[in-house]
Structure 1
Amino acid sequence: MRLWSLHPSLLDRRGLVACWRESLLAQKVLQGRTKGYRNHPQLTRFRRMVDPVASVGAYLAGLADEADAREFTFNRGLVVVPPSTAVPPARMTVTTGQLDHEWAHLLAKTAGRDPAWHDRLAAADRVPHPLFDVVPGPVEEWEVLGDR
C-alpha cells in the first residue's frame, strides 16, 4: 500500500489508479471492514487525525479531482464521508524528508514503466497532495525503509 504524500498530478496513470485502489482499501481498514492491512504503517498518519475516515475521504477527493482533470472516471460514490463531519477534516502535515523520499521512489518507479512521464517529472516541482502542509523534518517514522 502506498498513499502518496505527493500531489496526485505527479503520479503517472498507473500510479494514480493504484493509489485510488489502495486508498479505498485504507478507507475500509479505517472503518474496521477488513481483516488484513489493519496494522499497515501507511495508515498511521490517518489514525492520528480526529476523524480518520473523513481524513482518508478528503485524501480520496484529491485523487478524484486529479482523475477528473485527466478525464478518468473514478467513482466518487465509493468515498465515505461520515455524516458527523460538518466541516472539512483538519489538514495533515508531511515532512520535507518524506516528500524527498517519495519523490525518489516515484522517479525510480516511473523510470522503468513510463520513461516519458519520468522525463516530465524531472522538470516538475515536488508539490504535496492538497490535504498536506509541508513541515521541516526527516522521513516519517512510519515509513518502511530497508536500512532502518
Structure 2
Amino acid sequence: MRLWSLHPAHLDRQGLTALWREGLLARAVLSGRTRGYRNHPQLERFRAQPEPLSSLDAYLSAVVDEAAGRGYRYDRTKLAPVGTVPLIEVTEGQLVFEWQHLMAKLARRSPDWHAAQQERSVPRCHPCLTVVPGPVAGWERGQHG
C-alpha cells in the first residue's frame, strides 16, 4: 500500500489508479470492514488525525479530482462528503524520498511521463498535506527516520 505524499498530478495513469484502489482499501481498514492491513504503517498519519476517515476521504477526494481532470471516472460516491479537515504534516525528507521512489518507478514503467515529471525541480505535495522540515517519516518501510 502506498498513499503518496506527492500531489496526484505527478502520478502516471497506473500510479493514479493504484492510489485510488489502495486508498479505498485504506478506507475499508479505517472503517473496520476488513481484517487485513490493519497495522499497515501508511495508515499511521491518518489514524493520528482527529477524524481519520474524514481525513482519508479528503485525501481521496483530491485523487478523484485529478482523475476527473484527466477524463477518468472514479466513483466519488464511495467517499463521504468532505468538510474541512486539518492539513496533515509531511516532512521534507519524506517528500524527497517519495519523489525519488516515484521517479525510479516512472523511469521503468512510463518513460514519457517520467521525462515530463523530471522537468520539475521541486515536487508538489498532496493538497491535504503541508510540508514541514524533517527526515523521512518513521513509518516509511526500510527507512530510519
CA distance in 1, matches of 2:86, 2:108: 36
Specify the SS of the correspondent of 1:134: strand
Shift of the alpha carbon at 1:131? 0.3
- Aligned ranges for residues 1-148 of structure 1 at < 5 Å? 1-81=1-81, 87-124=83-120, 125-145=122-142
Shift of the alpha carbon at 1:80? 2.9
Q: Is the 2:136–2:143 contact (alpha carbons within 8 Å) kept by the matching residues of 1?
A: no
CA distance in 2, matches of 1:146, 1:2: 15
Shift of the alpha carbon at 1:145? 1.4
Q: Aligned residues: percent identity?
A: 50
CA distance in 2, matches of 1:143, 1:16: 20
Where has structure 1 moved over 2 Å in runs of 4 or more?
none
CA distance in 2, matches of 1:147, 1:10: 25
> Per-residue displacement from partner, 1:63-116 (whole Å, max 9, x unpaired)?
0010011010000011134xxx7x411111100000000000000101111000
CA distance in 1, matches of 2:142, 2:113: 25
CA distance in 2, matches of 1:93, 1:145: 20
- The TM-score, its normalising length taken from structure 1, stands at 0.93
Q: Which ranges in structure 1 are unaligned for 5 or more consecutive residues?
A: none
Query: How many correspondences in the alignment?
Result: 144
Specify the SS of the correspondent of 1:133: strand
Shift of the alpha carbon at 1:146? 5.9
- The TM-score, its normalising length taken from structure 2, stands at 0.95
RMSD: 1.4
CA distance in 2, matches of 1:39, 1:121: 32
Flag the 1:135–1:146 CA change in 2: closer, same or farther, 3 A: closer
